[in-house]
Amino acid sequence: MSTRGDQLEAPSTGPLAAGDGTERAAGARAGLASTVAAWLAGPVFQKEARVMGRRKSTYLARSMLALALIGVAALAFWAVADETAHYRGVAKVQAFQRLAPGLAAAIAWTMFVVATVAAPVLTGGAICDERRSRSLAALATTPLRPGQIVLGKLASRLVQLVILVLLTAPLMLSLRAFGGLESSYVLGATCLTLSSGLLAASLGLAASNRAARPINAASFGVTVMILYNLWPAGGMLVQYWVTGRPPSTEWLTFGPGMCLAMLSAGSMPGMTFDPATFWIKICAISVALSAVVCIAASVRLGVMIRRDAAEEPSLTRPAKRKRTAAATASPEHATADPARADSDGGVSAVSREVGDQPVLWREMRQAAFRSGLRLAIGLAAVVGMMLLVYANAGLREPGVTTVFAVIGAVVLMFGAATASVGSITGEAESRTWQVLNTTLLTPAEILGGKIAGALRRLWVVPALLLGHCVLAVLAGAVSAAFIPLLALILVGPVVFLCTTGVALSLRLRRTSAAGVANMLIASGLWAMLPMAIGIAGEVTRAGRDSFAGRIMQAALILNPVYMTGSAANGLGRSSWGGSRSRFELVWQNVGPETFTICVVFATGVYLAASFAVFHLCLRRYGQWSALKTV
């Protein structure tokens, strides 16, 4: 099979050139088909598809997703059937008609989020795994062009994504049998999910070119997709700030998430576009952006291949560490130029003195961001946005602190779920794990150091949250008690997620698998559990004082995002000025003492669970570690 992209060139002589226009057109079509096949379904695609096809986890994930969605749908229908048992005729049909759109929207949103998060995870290792396993150079010596490599890898992973998304289409279409659900909604939601997934996958692949580890590329892809989904809201805010008039709803059509929300909500007052077809534009934009990202990724890959061919390839990025003489541990190590080239042109730096807990010492010095410039740009963007909100809504506005705290809690949980998942798999991938395990370090020292390092790398979001809270307290928008309460709410879940991340990193072979599993734990605890509680509440009609009701309350107390919002509302200016603060918990408002007890209880539960997971890791250390040694 030819892998060159030159099949499009029409022969200037020969039968085709001498033939009529129809033959020429047929020849050109055949050439185009073979070119597309060579680029999309070439050897890279076939190899990747075979590798993925061999993994049991591929089929397990698909089966679990399908079963979970069917289970949720079945539970919801059971709940409605139970609730409407005494209804008759039309009333019963109407109850089901009300359920179908809501359930379809829930499924569509679930798939949208799954596709946006799973796509970069699937493509994050595409190139950097090749680089780490030193197979990129071998691939570069074949006639394959960088574009073919990129497209082959993208196509093979998109197949997995398309299968996942299309698994839900029959389920959503079957809901139409109950009425109240348009087929155009199913089509629109599926197209939005697929185009969004395509863009997310392209971003993950492009980031994989430079990333040291797959999880870094996946995190980049997810972050950009979050910004892509949120930027219309920012645009509306800026327009409102500049013009002082309500912003145009047209903004909403520039973000896939917003589009899906509007598609789910149906027509809105003031809409200036066709509610049935507006999603086509954002799908086209996402696909066009994917094409641009793929072209950029191909160009970048070509540059990397040429650069690696010209010089000794490095498995990792060049060392960029620079340190001041002040960081030098002893005068013996001090040099006039802290970052200098050695006699052979290699990169040198001032050596520091290693502490008595070497793993902890190294982890505490790992950078949270790859470069200071990136950190500065990221901080400037976030602080700028916060200042914009302060200027627009005012710092004393009670909702501002609630929104910032909730967004901060969500981002912090996302960070905690991904910060530690590469801690052990990263060591195994860079072949340092075996050596570390032949030292006198105990498993507790190694794992404890990894958890501490992951916690330290999460400093940015808490620092921003603290900064906002201090300003809000000074402005009188929120009580000073909110700061320690917020810290107490967040510390337990963060420690828990970092511990489970290390545990999964120890147990699983791949960082991406550990990342997905830890995200599932987080989403299971804080998204699926409340959903299940809601459905169970409907089914059992459990009162707040019943045993089942107490269990449900306890489960929601464990949700840090819910508790953060509740604490911000409870200690906001409108709530605490003079009178006793009231905190909203499920089914009731409680006082500060009860709320604090609930927070302490939840923190205790998380810390106890973290300890249990840590203890399990220590017990299974030899067995799980051996899996990475074979």
Coil, helix or strand at residue 370:
coil
Asked whether position 337 contacts other proteins by CB under 8 A, the answer is: no
CA distance 560 to 542: 23
What one-letter code names the amino acid at 50?
Answer: R
SS3 of 241-266: the string is HHHCCCCCHHHHHHCHHHHHHHHHHC
**H-type helices in 511-591, by residue range?**
511-523, 529-540, 547-557, 560-570, 573-576
418 Cβ contact partners less than 8 Å away, ≥ 6 residues apart: 215, 218, 219, 501, 515, 518, 519
Please state the closest distance from residue 309 (CB atom) to other proteins, in A. 18
Cβ closest to other proteins, residue 281 vs residue 619 = 619
Residue 479 in contact with residue 473, Cβ under 8 Å? Answer: yes
Coil, helix or strand at residue 572:
strand
Asked whether position 529 contacts other proteins by CB under 8 A, the answer is: no
Pick the stretch among 2-10, 12-20, 409-417, 618-626 that binds other proteins (CB under 8 A): 618-626
Residue 117 in contact with residue 517, Cβ under 8 Å? Answer: no
Asked whether position 342 contacts other proteins by CB under 8 A, the answer is: yes
Asked whether position 434 contacts other proteins by CB under 8 A, the answer is: yes
Pair of tokens at residue 206:
């492009």
Pick the stretch among 4-12, 67-75, 424-432, 528-536 that binds other proteins (CB under 8 A): 424-432
Pick the stretch among 60-68, 167-175, 360-368, 386-394 that binds other proteins (CB under 8 A): 360-368
Residue 226 in contact with residue 144, Cβ under 8 Å? Answer: no
Pick the stretch among 107-115, 216-224, 307-315, 590-598 that binds other proteins (CB under 8 A): 307-315
CB atoms within 10 A of CB 142: 12
CA distance 168 to 66: 7
Q: Closest Cα partner for 218 from 229, 228, 231, 203?
A: 203
Coil, helix or strand at residue 583:
strand
Pick the stretch among 309-317, 461-469, 553-561, 565-573 that binds other proteins (CB under 8 A): 309-317
Burial of 602 (0-12, 13-18, 19+ CB in 10 A): buried
Residue among 9, 311, 356, 593 that touches other proteins (CB under 8 A): 356
Cβ closest to other proteins, residue 4 vs residue 55 = 55
Cα-Cα-Cα-Cα dihedral sign, residues 230, 232, 237, 241: positive
Pair of tokens at residue 110:
């679930």
Cβ closest to other proteins, residue 397 vs residue 429 = 429
Number of residues that bind other proteins (CB under 8 A): 50
Please state the closest distance from residue 459 (CB atom) to other proteins, in A. 18
Asked whether position 357 contacts other proteins by CB under 8 A, the answer is: yes
Cβ closest to other proteins, residue 354 vs residue 612 = 354
Residue among 26, 60, 68, 354 that touches other proteins (CB under 8 A): 354
**Residue list 312-331, contact with other proteins (CB under 8 A):** 312, 314-319, 321, 330
508 Cβ contact partners less than 8 Å away, ≥ 6 residues apart: 425, 514, 517
Pair of tokens at residue 84:
């409407």
Residue among 430, 546, 574, 588 that touches other proteins (CB under 8 A): 430
Asked whether position 622 contacts other proteins by CB under 8 A, the answer is: yes
Asked whether position 365 contacts other proteins by CB under 8 A, the answer is: yes
CA distance 69 to 74: 8
Q: Mask 163-182, x = binds other proteins (CB under 8 A)?
A: --------------------
Please state the closest distance from residue 439 (CB atom) to other proteins, in A. 4
Asked whether position 621 contacts other proteins by CB under 8 A, the answer is: no
Residue among 12, 14, 440, 547 that touches other proteins (CB under 8 A): 440
Asked whether position 626 contacts other proteins by CB under 8 A, the answer is: yes
Cβ closest to other proteins, residue 90 vs residue 440 = 440
Where does this chain bind other proteins (CB under 8 A)? 312, 314-319, 321, 330, 332-333, 335, 342-343, 346-359, 361-362, 365-366, 427, 430-441, 622, 625-626, 629-630
